[in-house]
Amino acid sequence: MKKHNFYAGPSIMSQYTIDHCIDAIHDFAGTGLSILEISHRSKEFSAVIEKAEQLFKELLDIPEGYRVIFLGGGASLQFAMVPMNLMRTRAAYLDTGTWANKAIKEAKLFGEVEVVGSSKADNYTYIPKGYVVPKDVDYFHITTNNTIYGTEIRHDMDVPVRLVADMSSDIFSRPVDVSKYDLIYGGAQKNVSPAGVTFVIVREDALGHVDRVLPTMLNYKTHVEKGSMFNTPPVFPIYAALQTLEWYKELGGVKELQRRDEEKAAVLYDAIDGSRMFVGTVHPEDRSIMNVCFVMKPEYKELEADFLAFATERGIVGIKGHRSVGGFRASLYNALPLESVKVLTQAMHDFEATH
């Protein structure tokens, strides 16, 4: 049976990426070797990593003065690397959920953290507004898409200090004005590649302003200077990332991805809003177009397990909600076709009709 993959991450990959990866596992770039066994110093792989950086820059229209590096350790390592490299004494953070919290916890190891806004008291059902970012902090950190709670900041804000963003789960879902950020990072396993690589887009002149001793591997400069080749980079996920970026370019770039993503999200949110049984969990103005969280209304609550089983029978995979929200979460990443969303909304409709 055809599966419809709504997992939050690792998550659906395009057939384009999977097919090209399979080919490269058999024979990478005509070398007669597998991508899994080739030296990262080979000229064929050097070309891959250079092209991946170049396509990142092209697709996101990244200005001069920025570098894109590919690291290990996941977005979670960035929670520590960001303050290590950018925080002299104090930074501001916006608390919008689990991942933001984890970033705050790490930042506190390196200095003073001012949490300028939080929606924790309302289980992160909205993005805090009306907060003030102090002018004397070293940077302001945001999580643009809250993968677990299903809220999203879909604009590029102006702040009086360096802006740092975790874009793990919404990179390439809209054009981003990169010039407003000093650093953007993310685990690639949501919209870019299989797990194992982390992307960092960094303004070069944001580096080198802290006094603390940085371990070589945790210093962004090491990786910037060596083009992500200081040590062995995650070769295979980087190869897969390049395939995804090439697919994005073929499709028409981020504007087209945005159009598709907004259309998919609208189909699902309309179904939720028009339903007698289901209800969204977040404030409509802050709804994520990547991760759609919804539950059953109190009077139907006991049917949630039945709906999961009903959906599973139709090939729908990965919609069980995160334990901190419950209910359902449908992740609508770039590689997910509109058809899968329609299968889900049809299942919701049919289930409702029979209960």
Ligand X SMILES: *Cc1c(COP(=O)(O)O)cnc(C)c1O
Closer by beta carbon to ligand X, 101 or else 275: 101
Residue 168 touching ligand X (CB under 6 A):
yes
Distance of closest approach, residue 190 Cβ to ligand X, in angstroms: 6
**Catalytic member of 170, 182, 190, 261:** 190
Q: How far apart are CA 105 and CA 319, in angstroms?
A: 29
Order of strands, sheet of 291-296, starting from the edge strand that comes earlier in the sequence: 278-280, 291-296, 328-331
SS3 45: helix
Q: What amino acid is encoded at 255 in this protein? A: K
198 within 8 A of 73, measured Cβ to Cβ = yes
* Binding segment (CB under 6 A) for ligand X, from list 68-76, 83-91, 233-241, 294-302: 68-76
Distance of closest approach, residue 108 Cβ to ligand X, in angstroms: 17
Closer by beta carbon to ligand X, 102 or else 314: 102
DSSP secondary structure code for residue 200 in this structure: E
Residue 228 touching ligand X (CB under 6 A):
no
Q: Are strands 112-118 and 90-95 parallel, antiparallel or unpaired?
A: parallel
Burial classification of residue 281, based on how many CB atoms lie within 10 Å of its CB (0-12 exposed, 13-18 middle, 19 or more buried): buried
148 within 8 A of 111, measured Cβ to Cβ = no
Q: How far apart are CA 192 and CA 171, in angstroms?
A: 8
Q: How far apart are CA 330 and CA 333, in angstroms?
A: 9
* Binding segment (CB under 6 A) for ligand X, from list 13-21, 122-130, 139-147, 269-277: 139-147
Residue 169 touching ligand X (CB under 6 A):
yes
**Catalytic member of 95, 99, 182, 286:** 99
Distance of closest approach, residue 47 Cβ to ligand X, in angstroms: 26
Per DSSP, helices labelled H in the chain are 15-26, 43-60, 74-86, 98-107, 220-225, 235-251, 254-273, 304-313, 338-353
**Would residue 190 show up in a list of annotated catalytic residues for this protein?**
yes
Closer by beta carbon to ligand X, 56 or else 99: 99
Distance of closest approach, residue 124 Cβ to ligand X, in angstroms: 12
Closer by beta carbon to ligand X, 90 or else 102: 102
Residue 76 touching ligand X (CB under 6 A):
yes
DSSP helix, strand, coil percent of the chain (3-state; round to 5)? 40, 20, 40
Binds ligand X (CB under 6 A): choice among 83, 187, 318, 321: 187
Structure tokens at 332: 């609508």
**Would residue 99 show up in a list of annotated catalytic residues for this protein?**
yes
**Catalytic member of 138, 166, 170, 261:** 166
Closer by beta carbon to ligand X, 95 or else 166: 166
Residue 75 touching ligand X (CB under 6 A):
yes
Residue 17 touching ligand X (CB under 6 A):
no
* Binding segment (CB under 6 A) for ligand X, from list 70-78, 130-138, 206-214, 346-354: 70-78
Phi, psi of 287 (to 5 degrees): -60, 135
Distance of closest approach, residue 13 Cβ to ligand X, in angstroms: 15
Q: What amino acid is encoded at 35 in this protein? A: I
Residue 321 touching ligand X (CB under 6 A):
no
* Binding segment (CB under 6 A) for ligand X, from list 152-160, 163-171, 230-238, 247-255: 163-171
Binds ligand X (CB under 6 A): choice among 5, 17, 85, 147: 147
Q: How far apart are CA 241 and CA 188, in angstroms?
A: 8
76 within 8 A of 102, measured Cβ to Cβ = yes
Closer by beta carbon to ligand X, 147 or else 219: 147
| Window 260 to 299, contacts with ligand X (CB under 6 A) | none
Residues forming the site for ligand X (CB under 6 A): 9, 74-76, 99, 143, 145, 147, 166, 168-169, 187, 190
Any idea which residues carry the catalytic annotation?
99, 166, 190
